[in-house]
A = this chain, B = another copy of it.
Amino acid sequence: MQNSRSKPCSCPSLKLREVASMYFTMVAAFLVILVVALQGSAPRESDFPYKVPLDPQGLLELSWNVSYPEQAVHFQLLIRELHFGLLFGMSDRGEFENADLAVLWSDGHNSYFGDAWSDAKGQLHMDSQQDYQLLGARRAPEGLYLLFRRAFSTCDPKDYLIEDGTVHLIYGILEKPVHSLQAINISALPGGLQRVQLLKPNISIPELPSDMKSMEITAPDVVIPSQETTYWCYMAELPEGFPKHHIIMYEPVVTAGNEALVHHMEVFQCTAQFDSFPHYNGPCDSKMKPDRLNYCRHVLAAWAMGAQAFYYPEEAGLAFGGPGSSRYLRLEIHYHNPLVFKGRRDSSGIRLYYTATLRPYDAGIMELGLVYSPVMAIPPGEHSFVLTGYCTDKCTQLALPAAGIRIFASQLHTHLAGRKVVTVLSRDGRERQVVNADRHYSPHFQEIRMLKEVVAVLPGDELITTCTYNTEDRSRATVGGFGILEEMCVNYVHYYPQTQLELCKSAVDPGYLHRYFSLVNRFNDEEICMCPQVSVPQQFYSIPWNTFNRDVLKSLYGFAPISMHCNKSSAVRFPGEWEKQPLPRITKRLREPIPRCPPALEPQPAAPVPLNLGQLQRD
């Protein structure tokens, strides 16, 4: 902290680093002029509609916007306390090694900006192609603003490809002067990680009705526990006789100052099967929590850090209130308090906007993916093991209206081993469209995401959800199930018009799995108990995981028929034969998108850009 009083920005004048060629000199000169030119014009709030704190104290604040025509992101980074520089960047899963970084560094006299990458040991190297493009810098009372731009795809193999879904942002703080970028090892710096959906969809906001009302479901001045992770549960209640309304929008209400602590929030509606629910206000894992709260699982609203307001499409709203609907709501807030602040008070929550003028369609939520069953298992020690859940043509044929449904949002869900989740729509055996894909999925960042494009699903279509798991840290098999160390593969899709189909999921046929156990048993001369009283998890736990047994399990999942859950609710199936169904056959796969490399705003030399931070101090 005391370093912040030294003078990192004391260079008296604009000074160009020695550059080798006239070309570089010209480009660098142009850039410096650009920097100076932009210093005067303070960007408006609306220029950067998305905002997230990077660190738990909120000393670093990132705002950004997305230009789909330019295929680029513009960043505004507010550094409240500048020491000797800052690293900001992206990496596959938030690791500091093999990261793609924008670096601001100072040797105590001069300051520079450059695009760099960290190797497998965290050591920094200058990128041969400078793709974080500095657009400006501005000193303000609250701190230093850095403005820069990055194309989604740069075609520099050292660069991160910005894709839909989760992006792991990282930062590191330079507390001492450094003499060159190459002298920095990010693994040795204080820093951290923040997950965001960088490529927010570019959706126009539907018109809101004049009779719209709002209601806040917020925590009642909770003292945030002084521990890293807390899930707080608070029960709220709709007025008696509250008639059916449509929720048409909701937004977060975050207590000022707690922006870096409130990680995510959800509002659940309780089941109508009980007339009343106990009032409760406390940690969700407390022994004092009444068991009945486990019956409050129907999602009404969900928000995670970095997300904005959620709007329903113009023709649809989420029904709540009225007969057959519980008056009881449960608010769940995940407080993430890694610095273990004590006595911090919070009244965050979600503000629901609703209307009594019902829209044409009720919105619904449908669960795609895998049944929560131990028959779907992941061997231990796998880097990327894939499980696939199917919603078959037979089920959509039976359960969807002739005009089909329209999916407008999606929430992906796995437990701790989940690394990627992708749902694809297939018609007549051909993959047609990605419904939602997150190739950097984190179980710690489960948002409801608006889709960039609404997906129309017709009767007879197939929805195929693929989850990739990492079990390198585990010594026994991970089976499907509800436990946190068991796994799920789910995509909750939000759609309209609502249908009776609540669940369209699959699992491998148990008979075929039994054959697998038997096969493994005989092949390896192992004594795996096949006695009927031994559970499926126990049988998985006793498999010796050699390459053959792993390979054959993959082959089994890619071949064996499935048991379909084509259900009206979690227990009631649609009529029909759903056992031993054939696996959907895909004759044509979607191509992986080939990244475009749009031309940079200006050609960028492989040399740092000098920054006149001394001049900035005069502001």
Contacts of A518 in B (CB 8 A): 522
Question: Are the CB atoms of B554 and A551 closer together than 8 Å?
Answer: yes
Contacts of A551 in B (CB 8 A): 551-552, 554-555, 558-559
- Shortest CB-to-CB span from A131 to chain B, Å, is 21
Q: Does A36 contact B (CB under 8 A)?
A: no
Contact of A548 among B522, B546, B556 (CB under 8 A): B556
The chain B residue with its CB closest to the CB of A550 is B555
The chain B residue with its CB closest to the CB of A547 is B559
- Shortest CB-to-CB span from A204 to chain B, Å, is 38
Return the CB mask of A167-211 against B: 1 if under 8 Å, else 0.
000000000000000000000000000000000000000000000
Contacts of A23 in B (CB 8 A): none
Contacts of A555 in B (CB 8 A): 547-548, 551-552, 555
Contacts of A560 in B (CB 8 A): 548
Please report which residues of chain A, range 395-451, place their CB below 8 angstroms from some CB of chain B when the two chains form the complex: none
Please report which residues of chain A, range 498-530, place their CB below 8 angstroms from some CB of chain B when the two chains form the complex: 515-516, 518-519, 522-523
Contacts of A546 in B (CB 8 A): 559
- Shortest CB-to-CB span from A446 to chain B, Å, is 33
Bound: A554/B555 CA distance, A: 10
Contacts of A522 in B (CB 8 A): 515, 518-519, 522
- Shortest CB-to-CB span from A447 to chain B, Å, is 36
Oligomeric state, in copies: 2
The chain B residue with its CB closest to the CB of A555 is B551
Bound: A558/B548 CA distance, A: 8
Contact of A523 among B519, B547, B558 (CB under 8 A): B519
- Shortest CB-to-CB span from A128 to chain B, Å, is 15
Please report which residues of chain A, range 92-142, place their CB below 8 angstroms from some CB of chain B when the two chains form the complex: none
Bound: A558/B549 CA distance, A: 11
The chain B residue with its CB closest to the CB of A556 is B548
Bound: A548/B556 CA distance, A: 7
- Shortest CB-to-CB span from A609 to chain B, Å, is 29
Bound: A551/B519 CA distance, A: 14
If A519-B519, A519-B522, A519-B523 touch, whether A559 touches B554 (CB-CB below 8 Å) is: no
Please report which residues of chain A, range 533-564, place their CB below 8 angstroms from some CB of chain B when the two chains form the complex: 546-548, 551-552, 554-556, 558-560
Contacts of A547 in B (CB 8 A): 555, 558-559
Contacts of A548 in B (CB 8 A): 555-556, 558-560
Bound: A236/B332 CA distance, A: 93
Contacts of A519 in B (CB 8 A): 519, 522-523
The chain B residue with its CB closest to the CB of A515 is B523
Return the CB mask of A459-472 against B: 1 if under 8 Å, else 0.
00000000000000
- Shortest CB-to-CB span from A255 to chain B, Å, is 53
Q: A515, A555, A556, A560 — which one has the most chain B CB atoms within 10 A of its CB? A: A555
- Shortest CB-to-CB span from A422 to chain B, Å, is 21
Bound: A74/B559 CA distance, A: 51
The chain B residue with its CB closest to the CB of A523 is B515
Bound: A547/B585 CA distance, A: 12
Contacts of A556 in B (CB 8 A): 548
The chain B residue with its CB closest to the CB of A558 is B547
Contacts of A515 in B (CB 8 A): 522-523
Bound: A560/B547 CA distance, A: 10
Bound: A522/B520 CA distance, A: 12
Contacts of A558 in B (CB 8 A): 547-548, 551
Bound: A315/B387 CA distance, A: 59
Contacts of A559 in B (CB 8 A): 546-548, 551
Bound: A370/B470 CA distance, A: 36
Contacts of A516 in B (CB 8 A): 523
- Shortest CB-to-CB span from A11 to chain B, Å, is 40
The chain B residue with its CB closest to the CB of A518 is B522
- Shortest CB-to-CB span from A225 to chain B, Å, is 47
- Shortest CB-to-CB span from A516 to chain B, Å, is 8
Q: A518, A554, A559, A560 — which one has the most chain B CB atoms within 10 A of its CB? A: A559
Please report which residues of chain A, range 555-607, place their CB below 8 angstroms from some CB of chain B when the two chains form the complex: 555-556, 558-560
Contacts of A552 in B (CB 8 A): 551-552, 555
Return the CB mask of A68-112 against B: 1 if under 8 Å, else 0.
000000000000000000000000000000000000000000000
- Shortest CB-to-CB span from A298 to chain B, Å, is 40
- Shortest CB-to-CB span from A388 to chain B, Å, is 14
Bound: A519/B559 CA distance, A: 15
Please report which residues of chain A, range 267-304, place their CB below 8 angstroms from some CB of chain B when the two chains form the complex: none
The chain B residue with its CB closest to the CB of A512 is B523
The chain B residue with its CB closest to the CB of A554 is B551
Bound: A558/B547 CA distance, A: 8
Please report which residues of chain A, range 476-518, place their CB below 8 angstroms from some CB of chain B when the two chains form the complex: 515-516, 518
Contacts of A523 in B (CB 8 A): 515-516, 519
Bound: A234/B616 CA distance, A: 93
Bound: A593/B470 CA distance, A: 29
The chain B residue with its CB closest to the CB of A560 is B548
Bound: A4/B556 CA distance, A: 63
Bound: A551/B550 CA distance, A: 12
Q: List 6 A-B contacts (CB under 8 A).
A: A518-B522, A519-B522, A548-B558, A551-B558, A552-B552, A555-B555
Q: Identify the 5 closest CB pairs spanning chains A and B, nearest first.
A: A551-B555, A548-B559, A519-B519, A547-B559, A548-B555
Q: 7 more A-B contacts (CB under 8 A) besides A515-B523, A519-B522?
A: A518-B522, A519-B519, A522-B522, A547-B559, A551-B551, A551-B558, A552-B555
